[in-house]
Amino acid sequence: NAGVMQNPRHLVRRRGQEARLRCSPMKGHSHVYWYRQLPEEGLKFMVYLQKENIIDESGMPKERFSAEFPKEGPSILRIQQVVRGDSAAYFCASSPTQTAPEQYFGPGTRLTVT
Amino acid sequence: GESVGLHLPTLSVQEGDNSIINCAYSNSASDYFIWYKQESGKGPQFIIDIRSNMDKRQGQRVTVLLNKTVKHLSLQIAATQPGDSAVYFCAENTSSGGSYIPTFGRGTSLIVHP
């Protein structure tokens, strides 16, 4: 029973490039959450998606960041024109239902912008 | 604004001792609280949860206490082991439109000395 999977685990991008982070939720889970974590900081909520819908994107920066969760395939967090301040660990979590507060986290993608 | 915070950023204990990690929250509308454990290089892992209508909940070697009067949450780990070394986060959850978006505290680093 595979858990939440994220890839790549490590991603290095130069300033101005695009970063694409992928998340496959646990089997049977259709609710996905993305978080960002800076060193020695807690997790900051970015966006909550269900299949083909963005439910809550109140934590997403208004520019350069976008997320999707298509009917088929993984959820993708996309960061365009990356800047050094985007360097962080990005975690994805999934839950089985909308009303289940417990979330299952993936191992994260560590993005480094050079 | 509303926030979740931890009193101690680092806690060092000897193997076999009991550990207590504290968390203060300020949103009185929060109705669900979760403790997560995050080991180095990994995603957060669910430990134990508690609903706002409870004041104590026990798991395997862990106990969570909730004091709504002073808006305080604690995680007690009995007979702490080296494998318990990690960063511990509390997260408060408030239902919004039927879904839960957690707010995480900064975290407490637990160091267990053999």
How far is residue B21's CA from residue B16's CA, in Å, rounded to a whole number? 16
pLDDT average, residue stretch B53-59 = 96
In chain A, the residue whose alpha carbon lies closest to the alpha carbon of B31 is A101
Task: Report the gap between the CA of A55 and the closest CA in chain B (Å).
Answer: 9
* Each residue's pLDDT tens digit, B59-89: 999 999 999 999 999 999 999 999 999 999 9
How far is residue B18's CA from residue B108's CA, in Å, rounded to a whole number? 15
A interface test, pick of B99, B104, B109 with most A CB neighbours within 10 Å: B99
How far is residue B114's CA from residue B107's CA, in Å, rounded to a whole number? 22
Residues of B in contact with A94 (CB under 8 A): none
Task: Report the gap between the CA of A19 and the closest CA in chain B (Å).
Answer: 20
Task: Report the gap between the CA of A99 and the closest CA in chain B (Å).
Answer: 5
Residues of A in contact with B45 (CB under 8 A): 105
pLDDT average, residue stretch A90-99 = 88
| pLDDT level of residue B4 (50, 70, 90 thresholds) | low
**Cβ within 8 Å of residue B83, ≥6 positions away:** B112
* Each residue's pLDDT tens digit, B21-32: 999 988 888 888
